[in-house]
Structure 1
Amino acid sequence: MKPVLLLLASLTFAGNAQALGLLDAYELARRNDPAWQAAGAAREAGLEQRAIGRAALLPTLSWGYSHSRNQSQVSQGSQRQDRDYRSHAATLSLQQPLLDFDALARWRQGDAQAHQAQAQWQGQQQALRVRVVRLYSNALLAARRTQLSRERKHALGERLALNRSLFEDGAGTRTDVLETEARLNLAVAEELEALDAQDVAARELQALLGQAPTQLQPLAEHIQLPALQPAAFEAWRQLASSRNPELLARRRGLDVAEQEVQRQRAGHLPKLSLFASNRQSQSDSESSYQQAFDTNTVGLQLNVPLFAGGGVSAATRQAASRLAQAQHELDGQALATFNNLRRHYNATRSGAARVRAYRLAAASAEAQLHATWRSQQGGERINLDVLDAEQQLYRARLELHEAQHGWLLASVELKAAAGVLGEDDMRQVASHFRE
Structure 2
Amino acid sequence: MFRRMSQLSIFGATVALLVCTNAQAMGPFQVYEQALRNDPVFLGAIKERDAGLENRIIGRAGLLPKLNYSYNKGRNNSQATVPDGRGGTSHDDRNYDSYGSTFTLQQPLIDYEAYASYRKGVAQALFADENFRGKSQELLVRVLTFYTQALFAQDQIEIAQAKKKAFEQQFQQNEHMFRQGEGTRTDILEAESRYELATAEEIEARDEQDAALRELGALIGVPTVDIRDLDPLRDRFESFTLSPANYDAWHELAISNNPNLASQRHAVEVARYEIERNRAGHLPRLSAYATSRRVESESGNTYNQRYDTNTIGIEISMPLYAGGGVSAATRQASRTMEQAEYELDSQTRTTLIELRRQFSACLSGVSKLRAYQKALTSAEALVISTKQSILGGERVNLDALNAEQQLYTTRRDLAQARYDYLMAWTKLHYYAGTLREDDLARVDEAFRPGS
Aligned to 1:23: 29
Matches within 5 A, 1:217-296: 217-296=231-310
**2:381 aligned residue (367, 387, 393):** 367
Task: State the match for 1:5 in structure 2.
Answer: none
Whether 1:103 aligns to 2:114 is: yes
1:9-408 equivalences in 2 (<5 Å) = 18-77=24-83, 78-211=89-222, 212-214=224-226, 215-408=229-422
* Structure 1 contact 146–198 (Cα < 8 Å) conserved: no
> Cα distance, 1:350 vs. partner?
1.8
How far is 1:392 from its partner? 0.3
Encode CA deviations 1:87-106: one digit per residue, 9 max, x unaligned.
11111111011111111111
- Once structures 1 and 2 are overlaid, which stretch shifts more, 122-131 or 214-223? 214-223
Q: Structure 1 49/183 Cα, relative in aligned 2: closer, same or farther at 3 Å?
A: same
Q: For residues 351 and 286 of structure 1, what CA distance do their matches in structure 2 show? A: 92
Q: CA deviation at 1:240?
A: 0.4
d(CA) in 1 for partners of 2:192, 2:321? 89
Q: CA RMSD in A?
A: 1.6
Q: Could you report, residue by residue, the CA deviation over 1:292-339 in whole angstroms, capped at 9, with x for unpaired residues?
A: 222111111111222223322222222222222222221222111111
| CA–CA separation in structure 1 for the residues paired with 2:225 and 2:148 | 13
Find the aligned partners of 1:92 and 1:420 in 2 and give their Cα distance: 53
Structure 1 distance, partners of 2:206, 2:309, is: 84
Matched-pair contact (CA < 8 Å) for 1:20–1:213: no
For 1:45 and 1:16, the matched residues in 2 are separated by 41
Q: Secondary structure at the match of 1:231?
A: coil
Once residues 261 and 330 of structure 2 are traced to their aligned partners in structure 1, the CA distance between those partners, rounded to angstroms, is 26
Secondary structure of the corresponding residue to residue 431 of structure 1 = helix
Q: CA deviation at 1:351?
A: 2.0
Give ranges in structure 2 of 5+ residues lacking alignment: 1-20, 84-88
Picking from 422, 425, 429, the partner of 1:411 is: 425
Match of 1:432, SS?
helix
Q: Give the whole-Å Cα distance in 2 for the aligned partners of 1:62 and 1:373.
A: 95
Q: 1:412 corresponds to which letter in structure 2?
A: T
Q: Shift in Å at residue 193 of structure 1?
A: 2.0
Q: What do residues 58-108 of structure 1 show as CA deviations (whole Å, max 9, x unaligned)?
A: 001111111111111111122111111121111111101111111111111
Cα distance in 2 for residues equivalent to 1:356 and 1:80: 111
Amino acid at match of 1:25: V
1:82-138 per-position Cα deviation (integer Å, ceiling 9, x unaligned): 111121111111101111111111111111110011010011111111101100110
After TM superposition, the runs of 4+ consecutive aligned structure 1 residues lying more than 6 A away are none
Render the CA deviation track for 1:166-210: whole Å, top value 9, x for unaligned: 444555444433322222222222222222222222222222222
Shift of 1:236: 0.7
* CA spacing shift, 1:86–1:421, aligned 2, 3 Å: same
Bigger mean CA offset, 273-282 vs 169-178: 169-178
* Cα distance change on mapping 1:418 and 1:135 into 2, 3 Å: same
Distance 1:200 1:328 in 2: 36
Whole-Å separation in 2 of the counterparts to 1:54 and 1:346: 46
Structure 1 residues 322, 192: closer, same or farther in 2, change over 3 A? closer
Q: State percent identity of aligned pairs.
A: 47
Q: Partners in 2 of 1:130 and 1:169 — Cα distance?
A: 58
> Residues 22-47 of structure 1, C-alpha deviation per residue, up to 9 Å, x if partnerless?
11110121111111111111100100
The one-letter code matched in structure 2 to 1:265 is R
What secondary structure sits across from 2:92 in the alignment? strand
Which amino acid counterpart does residue 394 of structure 2 have in structure 1?
Answer: E
Q: How many residues align?
A: 421
Residue deviations 1:234-281 (CA, integer Å, cap 9, x gap): 111100000011110111111112211221221122111111111111
- Corresponding residue for residue 15 of structure 2: none
What's the offset of the Cα at 1:52? 0.4
Structure 1's 309 and 178: CA in aligned 2 closer, same or farther, altered over 3 A?
closer
> Could you state the TM-score of these two structures normalised by the residue count of structure 2?
0.90
> Structure 1 unaligned runs (5+)?
1-14
The 3-state SS of whatever aligns with 2:330 is: helix
Q: 1:401 to 1:66 in 2, by over 3 A?
A: same
